[in-house]
Every structure is written in structure tokens, then in C-alpha cells.
Chain A
Amino acid sequence: ETGVTQTPRHLVMGMTNKKSLKCEQHLGHNAMYWYKQSAKKPLELMFVYSLEERVENNSVPSRFSPECPNSSHLFLHLHTLQPEDSALYLCASSQGGSSSYEQYFGPGTRLTVT
């Protein structure tokens, strides 16, 4: 399936690096999400964009900076990360705004911070 794509699929970065994760949805949805999935922990919602406006910022550290230039694209800019930020970062989209329950997930970016 290519409904929601994410690049890169794997990323290794040092704590002083700056990198960006990219998400693109081809489903015509109007809400997009970033989640973090760590080992042995539930998915944690990080950010929600509805109609390109950020409607949720779940107490995420400022070293994570989202950007949503249009309804099809979502970025997560990373800088000065910590080793505990190593996780799978999942992007999702939904129709009907951010209140829609059925979210379609991308394959994720597996991030390792060294």
C-alpha cells in the first residue's frame, strides 16, 4: 500500500545532528498526526494537524518541531536529540478532521540516536 509514505525508513543520527522526517499521504485526508512508538510502550501521540493547523501538541520537547506545509505533507524536524528519543516514529492521516477515529498509518521511520 502507498496511501501514507514515510522517508527515510531508517535513520541513525548523533545527538548534535539535525535531520527531518517526511510523511506524505495520497488519500485526500485533511488531518495528519505524528506518533512515537517505543519498545514496550503504547503509541504516544505527539502532534495533530487538522486542515494544516496544529491542533494538538502533546507536551513534546522543543527538540521536535513539526511542519505541515499542506494537507498532504507533514515533516518532523529533529535537532539535539537524546538517546531516549530512539523509537519508531509513525505518521498517520484521517478524513473528517482530527476527530476521525480511523487513522491510516505510514510504515514509520526507525530512529536511532547515538
Chain B
Amino acid sequence: RKEVEQDPGPFNVPEGATVAFNCTYSNSASQSFFWYRQDCRKEPKLLMSVYSSGNEDGRFTAQLNRASQYISLLIRDSKLSDSATYLCVVIPSNTGKLIFGQGTTLQVKP
């Protein structure tokens, strides 16, 4: 089983749609969770951290479910500029190593 699993997509949605991605992780001792964004032919950049209580940043909401070992990213009112690959990142306890998922590709269409 992969350490971090994501549906690669692509998710094709119209502008203004709400879209959600899930990510599952295998190590129950994992401590920290993040979403990175990677545009086509560009480097990954930190999008947001994922806290146990959930967190929101504008149109983006991230949630963590420790019992089921998954995290989610919800994007509301999708914009064309949201088109990118969204990478789920998990840090296992005490390692400091970032474990990346394969990424989920989002295409927002006009």
C-alpha cells in the first residue's frame, strides 16, 4: 500500500463549481499534513496546512480525519487559475520527512 494515496484525476469542472479532493495515508502515527500546489511545468508550492480542527483560507477548506486516515481539500467557486495539480503531503511522526502523494489534477473550464 502506498504511504500517501490520491486519485490522480483529472477532475474537469466548470468555473464556479465546488470540487473536493481526498487523500489517504497509511501511517497512523503521522503528525503533520499539508496541501501543496504544482502548476504545469512549475515547482510545488505550499498551499495550506491541515489542522485537526480543520482550516479555511478564502475559497479553500482543508480537513483532517485521523480515525479514517484521510485529509481533504475543498475548493469553492472554482477559478480558471485554480487549474493545477494538488499534492497531498504527510509528515510521519518524528521524521521531518515530507511524503508526497502522486497529486490530483484539476482542470477548471470556462
Is A66 interfacial (CB-CB < 8 Å)? no
- Known contacts: A102-B46, A108-B43. The answer to whether A40 contacts B102 by CB under 8 A is yes
Q: Number of A interface residues at 8 Å Cβ cutoff, please give it.
A: 21
| B39, chain A: closest CB distance, angstroms | 11
When the two chains form their complex, are residues B97 and A103 in contact, meaning their CB atoms are under 8 A apart?
no
Chain B interface extent, by class: 20 to 34
A residues less than 8 Å from B32 (CB atoms) = 101
Is B45 interfacial (CB-CB < 8 Å)? yes
Tell me which of A13-21, A41-49, A73-81 binds B. Answer: A41-49
Q: Which A residues from 59 to 114 make CB contacts under 8 A with B? A: 90, 97-108
A interface residues (Cβ-Cβ under 8 A, vs B): 4, 40-43, 45, 48, 56, 90, 97-108
B interface residues (Cβ-Cβ under 8 A, vs A): 2, 4, 8, 32, 34, 42-46, 49, 87, 89, 91, 96-103
